[in-house]
């Protein structure tokens, strides 16, 4: 049995490994416990149910994508137009990297985010808030014009769906995908510029 103390992060890491091996349909709390060398009751002390464990691992995964983007959104060293471009290219690169380097886990998280729609909705809300910050900063600096940065952020997010929504993942491998995103960013930035 395990001699090192068990914590939530250790359980989440093991859960990712189990999900990668077994997929979301077959992975169980018992599999996670076995991988850790503990009883399933030990896992349940940290997560009261299989659903809670799966939601926590989903939120952790989504947080990995969100946190670097939050740093970009809040970075005052970049002008808002460049910050907006960097934010989208970073989001796209992260999604595409995960898809190409760990396709099994990417497919698993597509299933988990659908199961835990509140985690996915919270993630989208966070991302739109980051865009709102960039756009509002652009309005303040005179780089952008927008009567409602929140509504504009939602529109910009929706307009770029092909570069971050998992349903479009097969298109991300296209050789022209980065150039296409750059064109979309240029169009959006130009449309937001003060006249």
User: Which DSSP string corresponds to 61-113?
Assistant: HHHHHHHHHHHHHT-TTS-HHHHHHHHHHHHHHHHHHHHHH-HHHHHHHHHHH
pTM: predicted TM-score of the whole model, two decimal places: 0.87
- Give, for all 195 residues of the chain, the pLDDT tens digit: 555 679 999 999 999 999 988 888 888 999 999 999 999 999 999 999 999 999 999 888 888 888 999 999 999 999 999 999 999 999 999 999 888 888 887 888 888 888 878 888 999 999 999 999 999 999 999 999 999 999 999 999 999 999 999 889 999 999 999 999 999 999 999 999 976
């Amino acid at each position: 049995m395990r001699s090192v103390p068990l914590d939530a992060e250790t359980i989440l890491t093991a859960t990712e490994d189990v999900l990668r091996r077994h997929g979301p349909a077959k992975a169980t709390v018992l599999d996670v416990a076995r991988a850790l060398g503990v009883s399933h009751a030990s896992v349940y002390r940290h997560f009261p149910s299989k659903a809670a464990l799966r939601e926590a691992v989903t939120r952790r995964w989504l947080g990995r994508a969100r946190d670097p983007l939050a740093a970009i959104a809040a970075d005052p060293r970049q002008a808002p137009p460049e910050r907006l471009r960097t934010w989208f290219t970073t989001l796209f690169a992260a999604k595409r990297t995960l898809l190409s380097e760990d396709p099994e886990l990417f497919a698993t998280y597509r299933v988990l985010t659908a199961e835990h729609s509140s985690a996915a909705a919270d993630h989208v809300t966070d991302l739109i808030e980051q865009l709102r910050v960039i756009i509002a900063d652009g309005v303040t600096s005179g780089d952008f014009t927008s009567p409602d940065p929140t509504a504009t952020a939602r529109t910009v997010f929706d307009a770029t769906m092909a570069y971050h929504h998992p349903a479009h993942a097969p298109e991300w491998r296209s050789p022209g995908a980065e150039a296409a995103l750059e064109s979309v960013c240029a169009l959006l930035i130009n449309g937001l510029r003060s006249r």
